[in-house]
Amino acid sequence: MAASSVFRPGLFNHKVAIVTGGGTGIGKAISAELLELGCTVVISSRKADRLNAAAQEMRKKIPSSSPADVTPVPCNIRNQEEVNALISSVLKKYGRIDYLVNNGGGQFSSPTEHIASKGWKAVIDTNLTGTFYCCKEVYTAWMKQHGGVIVNIIADMWKGFPGMAHTGAARAAVDNLTKSLAIEWASSGVRVNAVAPGTIFSKTAMENYKELGPHLFKRSIPFSPAKRLGVPEEFVFRCHTESCSVFLCPDHTSWPKAPPGENLDALEELLNPRSKL
| CATH code of residue 39 | 3.40.50.720
- The structural domain count of the chain equals 1
Q: Taking CA 87 as the corner, what is the angle to CA 84 and CA 92, rounded to the nearest 5 degrees?
A: 120
Computed over its alpha carbons, how large is the radius of gyration of the chain? 18
Residue 141 — left, alpha, or beta (φ > 0 → left; ψ -120 to 50 → alpha)? alpha
Q: Is residue 80 part of a domain?
A: yes
Q: Is residue 277 part of a domain?
A: no
At 204 the pLDDT is: 64
Closest alpha carbon to 144 in 90, 187, 99, 101: 187
Exposure on the CB side of residue 274, measured as CA atoms within 13 A: 0
pLDDT in tens, 60-112: 999 889 999 999 999 999 999 999 999 999 999 999 999 999 998 888 878 99
Q: In what order do the strands lie in the sheet with 148-153?
A: 70-72, 40-44, 16-20, 99-102, 148-153, 190-195
Q: Is residue 6 part of a domain?
A: no
Q: Is residue 254 part of a domain?
A: yes
Q: Is residue 103 part of a domain?
A: yes
Q: Are 31 and 51 in contact (CB under 8 A)?
A: no
Q: Is the dihedral of CA 260, 29, 174, 265 positive or negative?
A: negative
pLDDT band at 271 (very low <50, low <70, confident <90, very high): very low
Q: Say if residue 263's pLDDT is above 60.
A: no
Q: Are 34 and 12 in contact (CB under 8 A)?
A: yes
**Residue type at 159?**
K
Q: Is residue 5 part of a domain?
A: no
More confident residue, 116 or 234: 116
| pTM of the predicted model as reported, rounded to 2 decimal places | 0.79
Q: Is residue 65 part of a domain?
A: yes
**Residue type at 219?**
R
Domain boundaries, position 172:
16-271
Q: Is residue 87 part of a domain?
A: yes
